[in-house]
């Protein structure tokens, strides 16, 4: 955990990586549009389009474990890179997260941006290296516009967080006491799958951010139970729920709240549909539910 979010220069150099799932032509088109949005916003983008075009490994991965780990390691050590930004989620992160973080010991931290299966990398970087990271849109998400069916992001707002121009985010105000704690988490199903493998943050009294996609209520119940029983989430200061992928998830949220001793809050700008914002992970925040506001301190540049 860090006391502040390290920030990057204005007009940052972004390295786009392919650390999880494979790409069909539709996803490659979204990826190209997402890269274009970053460039229009002033980023200097480094992207090897040939990587997204290579044949899928096992039919669902963007490359072999060795290829994906090599790309990530290069991105975290390449001179001049300010931000490492995941092209998409999917699957496969848990296959290489431990060996990747072993290879990064002693390397200066860089911010990783992404969500969904990228949750595994966030957890590993936060826990094993003490690096902060950003739960936020993947690059393909930047091409989306239909908030009812997809996650949508304000690129300028995300970049403002990365560069230190924005040190807060807002959500729907709701009753509850203020919490001073670090934020960890991401995709609930992914987090549950990491129990017992040494990748989950072990900081007690943390705020756990949770979102999910296309899982039935019983599966979300099972995942939260596994996370409660198998991780430090059992001692959480609060749970902060984003979109859980259900049309009627308010009833489920109330049911899940009965299973935890920590207060449960809603409205996190995270998930596979609706607004997705840049949320610092592994960073101390001031969480004020009655104001619907989360704030943090911004520090020196990384890299």
pLDDT attached to residue 2: 82
CATH of residue 265's domain is: 3.50.30.60
* Same domain? 146 vs 23: yes
Rounded Cα distance, 52 and 216, in Å = 31
Rounded Cα distance, 106 and 22, in Å = 30
Rounded Cα distance, 40 and 63, in Å = 29
Stated pTM of the model? 0.97
Per-residue tens of pLDDT for the chain, all 303 residues: 788 999 999 999 999 999 999 999 999 999 999 999 999 999 999 999 999 999 999 999 999 999 999 999 999 999 999 999 999 999 999 999 999 999 999 999 999 999 999 999 999 999 999 999 999 999 999 999 999 899 999 999 999 999 999 999 999 999 999 999 999 999 999 999 999 999 999 999 999 999 999 899 999 999 999 999 999 999 999 999 999 998 766 777 777 778 899 999 999 999 999 999 999 999 999 999 999 999 999 986 555
The closest of 44, 39, 47 to 9, measured between CA atoms, is 44
The helix/strand/coil state of 289 is: coil
Tokens of 268: 């996190």
* Same domain? 136 vs 186: no
The closest of 166, 176, 147, 163 to 241, measured between CA atoms, is 176
- What's the number of domains the chain is made of? 2
If phi > 0 it is left, if psi is from -120 to 50 it is alpha, else beta; for residue 293 that is: beta
How wide is the angle at C-alpha 51 spanned by C-alphas 45 and 52, nearest 5°? 85
Boundary residue ending a domain (132, 167, 202)? 167
Rounded Cα distance, 292 and 247, in Å = 23
* Same domain? 173 vs 139: no
* Same domain? 163 vs 181: no
* Same domain? 128 vs 244: no
Q: Which residue has 């296309």 as its token pair?
A: 214
Boundary residue ending a domain (117, 132, 167)? 167
* Same domain? 11 vs 87: yes
Rounded Cα distance, 190 and 172, in Å = 26
Secondary structure tally for the chain: helices H, strands E = 9, 17
* Same domain? 101 vs 180: no
Tokens of 147: 């908030």
Integer-rounded Cα radius of gyration of the chain? 18
* Same domain? 183 vs 163: no
CATH of residue 68's domain is: 3.40.50.10740
pLDDT attached to residue 301: 53
Tokens of 52: 């997204």
pLDDT attached to residue 302: 52
The helix/strand/coil state of 174 is: coil
């Amino acid at each position: 955990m860090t006391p502040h979010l390290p920030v990057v220069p204005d007009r940052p150099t972004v390295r786009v990586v392919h650390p999880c799932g494979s790409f069909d032509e539709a996803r490659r088109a979204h990826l190209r549009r997402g890269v274009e949005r970053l460039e229009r916003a002033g980023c200097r983008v480094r992207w090897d389009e040939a990587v997204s075009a290579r044949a899928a490994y096992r039919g669902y991965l963007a490359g072999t474990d060795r290829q994906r780990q090599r790309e990530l390691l290069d991105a975290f050590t390449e001179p001049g890179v300010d931000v490492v930004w995941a092209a998409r989620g999917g699957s496969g992160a848990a296959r290489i997260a431990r060996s990747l973080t072993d290879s990064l010991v002693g390397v200066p931290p860089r911010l990783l941006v992404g969500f969904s299966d990228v949750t595994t990398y966030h957890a590993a970087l936060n826990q094993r290296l003490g690096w902060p990271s950003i739960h936020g849109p993947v690059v393909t998400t930047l091409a989306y516009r239909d908030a009812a069916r997809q996650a949508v992001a304000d690129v300028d707002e995300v970049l403002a967080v990365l560069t230190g121009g924005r040190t807060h985010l807002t959500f729907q105000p709701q009753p509850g006491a203020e919490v001073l704690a670090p934020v960890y988490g991401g995709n609930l199903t992914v987090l549950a799958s990491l129990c017992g493998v040494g990748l989950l943050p072990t900081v007690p009294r943390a705020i756990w951010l949770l979102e999910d996609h296309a899982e039935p209520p019983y599966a979300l119940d099972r995942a939260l139970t596994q996370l409660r029983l198998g991780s430090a989430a059992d001692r959480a200061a609060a749970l902060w729920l984003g979109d859980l992928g259900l049309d009627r998830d308010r009833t489920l949220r109330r049911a899940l709240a009965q299973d935890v001793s920590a207060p449960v809050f809603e409205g996190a700008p995270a998930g596979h549909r609706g607004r997705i914002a840049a949320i610092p992970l592994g960073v101390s925040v001031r969480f004020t539910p009655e104001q619907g506001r989360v704030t943090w301190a911004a520090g020196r540049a990384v890299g």
